[in-house]
Amino acid sequence: MRMKHIYISCWMPIVGFCLSSLGIAGVTLAFATFLNPANCSGQIRFTGVNLFGAEFGESSLPGNYGQHYTYPIAAEVDYFLGEGMNTFRLPFRWERLQRSALAPLDATELSRMDTFVNYATSQGANVILDPHNFMRYFPDPNNFQTSSQGLVGVDPNVPISVFSDFWSQIADHYKDNDRVIFNLMNEPNSMQTSELVVAENAAIAAIRETGAENLILVPGNQWSGAWAWNETWYNGPNAVHMLNITDPLNNYAFDVHQYLDNNSSGGSQGIVSATIGQERLVNFTNWLQANNLRGFLGEFAVGDSTIGNGPSQIGDEAIDNMLSYMEANDDVWLGWAWWAAGPWYTNYFFSLEPNNLGQPNQSDRIQMDVLRPHFADVLGDLDGDGDVDEDDHGIWANAYALDDQGDIDGDGDTDGSDFLVWQRELWKTTTDRSQAFGATTAVPEPTSISLLLFLASASIAHRKAKLT
């Protein structure tokens, strides 16, 4: 059984510290190192979904917005947060955000991304930025996943400096938003693993040079498959070369993907066995534990037709076994993101997009029932009793401006922003998170002035109490 809301600060020379607020989904990872699981308590912190659409139209680059690609919308954010998720992985195309090598980021495209990122993070979500490029920039449009054209560090037109420049600009733009996570690349493949490490280290260095302290997710080679972590393709396995990843802040984790069909591609709804997901994560998990590292499952899924009571419908058992295994090894696993949901792919067999979003007849996909028991604990549940209520507000009030016991937003202190998150999450429970999303009508929305007066009076009261 996972414990909730025990605050542990593990101070370690050189490697920094790991502030682990168990059960707080919005924990700030900007200052976390995650290098010593033995000393820092673990827990699955990020549970969410890929929201695709911005990476569509790979053969039409940069393409036309609204025709070749789109971005997820606020209604999707609201729905998945209401269900209890707390993280969105946002796939997008590098070529749209940066129209030519070393050029400034395109202002129009960046504004589209900002619209989604700013809304989602303002609601307490974490957003993983994922250039969905397979380590390629303007590849052959007929072979955008494995083309030698545009391969970073291999194609002379795309040196590693182009990749690091891209990440430097993104990091500089989002460095003040600690809910933004940088996923260096989606599914690199068909290059030497040692060369991939050089490129990723260059990008990490460029990110840190901007002053950004955000969590960085580092993919491996061979489409970053967990099952292939020890395979010897591409002049050496990920398990050897990825030990050479260097981050001056040690605030990174390895992003892997794992599907359950016979070739781990996710190209079909086939599932090898009810335990195959767990089995394919074992070697990677052992590697993380042996090297005091952290992992994140960036893609996984089962099809809707695999869930049920028939003899071949083992999708629910397979997912439950897989996620339970990660929870049992949460000293090294940070979380996961389902593949996928989005406004343009509602008939996709892996889609988690609700039926008839925003309509009176809106309904969940069948996979949601399988995932819901594995969501990270309720944000704002400070006393760990499974719901957000006035008792949690009391903990916040007693800790206001004094310590971090009321820290709901994960920024390391107890202040007015934590109150606003508590207010938004009021009445949510672990058993039915969706029924009360947005139920802040129970507590009237404060105006800016009244909120400031409230916080000021609370601060004065606690200062007096501290002095006496």
What is the overall mean pLDDT for the chain? 84
What is the homologous superfamily of the domain 46-376 according to CATH? Answer: Glycosidases (3.20.20.80)
Helix (H) and strand (E) counts for the chain?
12, 10
Our answer to whether residue 187 is catalytic in this structure is yes
Q: What is the pLDDT of residues 298-338, one digit of tens each?
A: 999 999 999 988 888 999 999 999 999 999 999 999 999 99
pLDDT at 157 over 60: yes
Neighbours of 192 (CB within 10 A): 16
Angle formed at CA 167 by CA 163 and CA 169, multiple of 5 degrees? 120
> Catalytic one among 58, 195, 299, 353?
299
Our answer to whether residue 299 is catalytic in this structure is yes
Q: How far apart, in whole angstroms, are the C-alpha atoms of residue 422 and residue 424?
A: 5
| Exposure b/e, 89-119, CB count within 10 A at least 16 = b | bbbbbbbbbbeeeeeebbeebbebbeebbeb
> Catalytic one among 58, 76, 95, 187?
187
- Confirm if 355 and 365 have CB atoms less than 8 A apart: yes
3-state secondary structure of 10: strand
Token duo for residue 347: 């008939």
| Cβ-proximal residues to 84 (8 Å cutoff; 6+ apart), any chain | 47, 372, 375, 376, 378, 428, 430, 433, 434
| Cβ-proximal residues to 273 (8 Å cutoff; 6+ apart), any chain | 279, 314, 318
Least confident of 17-26, 91-100, 295-304: 17-26
Q: What is the pLDDT of residues 396-411, one digit of tens each?
A: 899 998 877 888 765 6
Q: How far apart, in whole angstroms, are the C-alpha atoms of residue 22 and residue 44?
A: 9
Looking at residue 410, its pLDDT comes to 57
Each domain of the chain, given as residue ranges in start order, spans: 46-376
Looking at residue 287, its pLDDT comes to 98
Radius of gyration for the chain, computed over Cα atoms and rounded to the nearest angstrom? 22
Whole-prediction pTM: 0.78
> How much of the chain exceeds pLDDT 90, in percent?
69
Q: How far apart, in whole angstroms, are the C-alpha atoms of residue 255 and residue 215?
A: 12
Looking at residue 330, its pLDDT comes to 96
> How much of the chain exceeds pLDDT 70, in percent?
80
Pick the closest to residue 23 from 329, 326, 379, 415 (CA basis).
379
Q: How far apart, in whole angstroms, are the C-alpha atoms of residue 12 and residue 256?
A: 27
Q: How far apart, in whole angstroms, are the C-alpha atoms of residue 1 and residue 438?
A: 29
For residue 2, the one-letter residue type is: R
Mean pLDDT calculated for residue range 136-160: 95
Neighbours of 159 (CB within 10 A): 17
Neighbours of 457 (CB within 10 A): 10
Looking at residue 378, its pLDDT comes to 66
Pick the closest to residue 80 from 426, 261, 383, 351 (CA basis).
351
Pick the closest to residue 183 from 209, 152, 219, 207 (CA basis).
219
